[in-house]
Structure 1
Amino acid sequence: MQNLKEKVVAVTGASAGIGKAIAIKLAENGAKVVLGARNTELLEKVAEEIKSDGGEAVFAKTDVSNKNDLVKLINIAVSQYGKLDVIINNAGVARISRIDELDTDGWDEMIDTNIKGTLYGMAAAIAVFKKQQSGHIINIISTSGIKIMPTQGIYAGTKNAVRTIAEAFRQESDGSIRITGISPGFIKTDFSVKSVNTEDMKIAASNAVEALAISPEAIANAVIYAISQPKDVEVGDIVIRPAKQN
């Protein structure tokens, strides 16, 4: 944990769920966190919670589908703290439906957020990391891309795109910039319920979360593990799911 002291970490999707848990856990362990999300009211509450517990946090409204928002978020980190050590590309959306239902608007939203949003975050951070000759990218992916399920095809596709891009970057990197992928399974957040449209599907999603899900702190702990490794150690892929999830 000593490796986390004074690290500057940007987290997208930090207003709730996994992103919030990551931000709070990092701050508890001495990191300075730079929080981004679309909902500034919730973001401010997370930042105040961190500060009230003695941590350091700043925040900015961030829509990851807008590349300029990611550049601004990273610039805030550098201007406020003089550097950026880690970016955590956590923001994501799921729109669950059969492919033949042709929810093309949902497809666009997932591509814009899950793929382009991650790429924009990587791009903004890499520009800084190259100057520093150091940095760490952490992408929050999903077990949906590991086990392909009906109604999750496009969502899983976006997540596997991130997995492929990350592996390509790892092979291209000289080791000064590390990259880690973390794939959560069922986590106790409202993410799954928000991803479906019909009342029946919402009930089913809620029941699945209630029966299976584990705490978002499990993902936060994995982030801390990856960041805490010595500079010459790269943790590539971590899969975290409930022990009873198929």
Structure 2
Amino acid sequence: MRILYVSSELIPYTPENTLSNAALELPRITNGQGNDVRIFMPRFGTINERRHQLHEVIRLSGMNMIVNDIDQPLIIKVASLPNDRMQVYFIDNEEYFKRKGIYEDKKTGEFYEDNDERAIFFTKGILETIKKLNWKPDVIHAQGWMSALMPLYLKTYYADDPFFNEIKIVYSLFDKPFEGILSDDMMSKIAFDKIDEKEFEHLKKPTFNNLLKVGIDHADVVVQGDEVLPDEIMDYIKKTDKSFKEYAVTESLCELYPSLCEVKD
């Protein structure tokens, strides 16, 4: 199988935590089973390009993403994980990712006001990149809140694009919340892409929990990535008919994606 992993955090490029660890270990497991695995993450300004040997993919240059009616250049960089035969692709843009912080300003501690736009750009940038690479995954596994829009865009914005037909989407939930909301006008920014607002009505108030709910709504499989998740999220999952993988140490591809294995069979 071809498996694409999407995460905003990944060891060794960001500090170690549950999300960045899972973003490394899950690809290692599936890659070790002989699958074709690739990873995408943002090229945050905290990442030392020289030390980690990032280089720009020239053949992917010239792409632009429109976010809220603003045309933004998309730069793709790539590196190889040390000791692993896996490539990591970095979504880059000076407006969104050059700053020396991941989600918040390092000096003030304030959450970036455009984190919603960064999430939209990250999502669309990945999907446009794999299309240009002509690398069609069987499974996209999105992890964490910054990847929560991936299921939504795959199942709505790209629904009529034959390249994305039959791709299954897995969404892993991690308890790494932010306070407050992403943006007062996040709904209008997504609606600009002509996605029906009923598909993401939770984002009338774009809190951490509501963002996760949007990811849950459009995923084929939902995975509990942290041992403990907010009660509101666990209760919401129980009300859905989603294939749900509870928190566990996984050893095989079909343990990770049981319903997808059934589909492949």
Category of TM-score, reference length = shorter chain = 0.3 to 0.5
Q: TM-score, normalised by structure 2?
A: 0.45
Greater fraction of residues in helix = 1
Q: Which has the higher contact order (CA 8 A, sep 6+)?
A: 1
Q: TM-score, normalised by structure 1?
A: 0.47
